[in-house]
Structure 1
Amino acid sequence: MSQTAASLRRQLALAGDLATVVRTMKAMAAAGISQYEGAVQALDDYDRTVQLGLLACFRQMPTMPTLGPSAPRSRRAPAAVGALLFGSDQGLVGQFNEQLVAFAQQTLQPLPGERRIWAVGERIQAQLADSPLGVTASFPLPTALGSIASLVSQVLLAVEACRARQEIDAFYLFHNRPCSGELYQAVSQRLLPLDESWRREIAARPWPSQQLPEVLHGGEATLLAFVSEYLFVSLFRACAESLASENTCRLAAMQRAEKNIGERLDALAGDFHRLRQSAMDEELFDVVAGFTAGEGQEKQAGGAGGG
């Protein structure tokens, strides 16, 4: 169907409006990336301090003390595995949620026992509902950096309640992490149990100086404080990295959209200019044809008068 100047103008206006929206979303995604990546970097020093505190405690403890419910699980009750998946609430993130669900399913498949899957984000909740994993509970995705701490507190309280009721034996985190060369990669972390193998792994690390530490006034109380911070930092980092990855995906999508819209605008502008040029040429041809026809009539009239 042939285009008209009016229809091309409308398409150019719509494409221009869409380009404005895309530029705004691109700027918001870039700001989100900077915000959440900055939070992750800020956690590095604090996380290192917490790890050193755990190391100092474990250097003085030959075995791992009991940090949770000590009541034995019923022999008839199977082992249960809990998992928390950080997804997205919004679209324009490609396979962000689908790939994470597939990764979690592959990771959890060899583990025995039932599954208790918690989702953070509406999109991944829907994705999990359609998968063999299912959804046991869900949490709202933070919309700003300041909301992450509230989510972490809710999750920790829920985990502790499940452990007190002997509903889970292990708890895993799954999220997407930004990485160089790719937009993101799916990663997992076993958050619980904090058992003897975890203690040995931390205790085997070298102390960074020649001055060896000593924990005073109640080693277990100090250990519990460091463990609490360890759990908080782990969850906070996972959420911040997931949000940074989500915004990275959205930024990439907006960059592709901006390129496509730019190409569309160029094509529409070219069509519009060609249409205008064609209309001008037709008008010019009509004028020349009319002028030529007028000259011919004048000559004919002049010849008839001379005769």
Structure 2
Amino acid sequence: MSDSVATLRHQIGSATDLQAVVRTMRALAASSISQYEQSVLALADYRRAVSLGLWACLRTLAPASLTPEQSKPASAGAVGAIVFGSDQGLVGQFNEVIVDHALKTLLAMPAKREVWAVGERVRARLASAGVSVAGTYAVPASVEAIAPLVDRLQLDTETHPSQAAQPRIYVFYNQPRPGALFQPVEQRLLPLDAQWLAGLLAQRWPTPNPPEVIGGGTATMRALIREHLFISLFSACAESLASENASRLAAMERADKNIDELLASLRGRFHSERQSAIDEELFDVMAGYEALSEDDIG
């Protein structure tokens, strides 16, 4: 058997092993997407409970007190931003897309910017663009790791000097989209959006007897707002991770298709080379037989 046939056989074996790895990674990515999406859905009931609690606290306030963002000019204070990225490979332009979107939005604001980056690669890109990075955090590797990260983000942003007077916090992340894998989005966490507040107050209490908040409701409202922010950050992180795995899943599907095409080509060449080697051996046998026959006749 020729060296080319042995080489092709080795290449086919290597490509087959690589395809097994790719298909395993594809299955893991698909499973991870489902877990992160389910974690967001699991927050639905808790989100509704927090919203109803905020409704009970806010329904007695004057309308003017529900738009704190109008009390100071837009340029007052510093703008804080939390940017969720990825520190793993095989995600295409995941980090580039979200950083470009965050920079486009933040650089248009006439205010000092403080950014908290989730992911070292995001931090590096923000720093290279001249944006001050107040903190960097590891990207969660599981659903269980999201809540501790969100707790740290809330604590660090709340205690940062730039956010002491009038907190202004935005969050940037990639959100899953059918057919498009993901798209970058932003959400203003603080001050609370007036349109969101109007929608909150427009809902109705599920029973005929609306509740009364004990003790004036200030402490309760602050606690509920903090829970609302926790839910928003948790959802942003989970959706970012789902988008990351969706990007990786698409990359693995493309790789699997490419390997299939490569294997088809290699196997075709292998069968052709192998048939040529067999034909050559048969011709040698026939030539040897004919030579022996001529000797016998002679």
Q: Do the structures match in fold with TM over 0.5?
A: yes
Q: After TM superposition, where is structure 1 displaced by more than 4 Å over at least 4 residues in a row? A: none
Q: Counterpart in 2 of 1:225?
A: 223
Q: Is the 8 A contact 1:55 1:202 kept in 2?
A: no
What are the equivalent positions in structure 2 for 1:1-307 lying under 5 Å apart? 4-62=4-62, 64=65, 79-162=77-160, 166=164, 169-194=167-192, 197=194, 200-207=197-204, 209=206, 211=208, 213-218=210-215, 219-299=217-297, 301=298
TM superposition shift of 1:273: 1.4
Q: Percent identity?
A: 49
The 1:7–1:200 alpha-carbon spacing in structure 2 relative to 1, beyond 3 Å, is closer
Q: Counterpart in 2 of 1:305?
A: none
Deviations along 1:11-59, whole A, 9 cap, x unmatched? Answer: 1221122112111211111111011000011112221221222122211
Q: 1:94 corresponds to which letter in structure 2?
A: G
TM superposition shift of 1:229: 1.0
The 1:200–1:145 alpha-carbon spacing in structure 2 relative to 1, beyond 3 Å, is closer
Q: 2:87 corresponds to which letter in structure 1?
A: D
Structure 2 distance, partners of 1:54, 1:202, is 12
Q: Which has the larger radius of gyration?
A: 1
Q: 1:207 corresponds to which letter in structure 2?
A: R
The 1:248–1:26 alpha-carbon spacing in structure 2 relative to 1, beyond 3 Å, is same
SS at match of 2:43: helix
165-174 or 102-111, which deviates more = 165-174
Q: Is the 8 A contact 1:115 1:133 kept in 2?
A: yes
TM superposition shift of 1:3: 6.4
Structure 1 distance, partners of 2:134, 2:269, is 55
TM superposition shift of 1:204: 4.0
In the superposition, the TM-score normalised over structure 2's length comes to: 0.89
TM superposition shift of 1:134: 4.6
The 1:165–1:295 alpha-carbon spacing in structure 2 relative to 1, beyond 3 Å, is closer
TM superposition shift of 1:66: 11
| Root mean square deviation of aligned Cα | 2.7
Q: Is the 8 A contact 2:158 2:164 kept in 1?
A: no
SS at match of 2:164: coil
Structure 1 distance, partners of 2:207, 2:146, is 37
Q: Is the 8 A contact 1:54 1:202 kept in 2?
A: no
SS at match of 2:202: coil
TM superposition shift of 1:201: 2.4
Extract unaligned runs of 5+ from structure 2: none
Q: Is the 8 A contact 1:82 1:117 kept in 2?
A: yes
216-225 or 262-271, which deviates more = 216-225
Q: Is the 8 A contact 1:80 1:114 kept in 2?
A: yes
Q: Is the 8 A contact 2:22 2:252 kept in 1?
A: yes
Structure 1 distance, partners of 2:275, 2:165, is 75
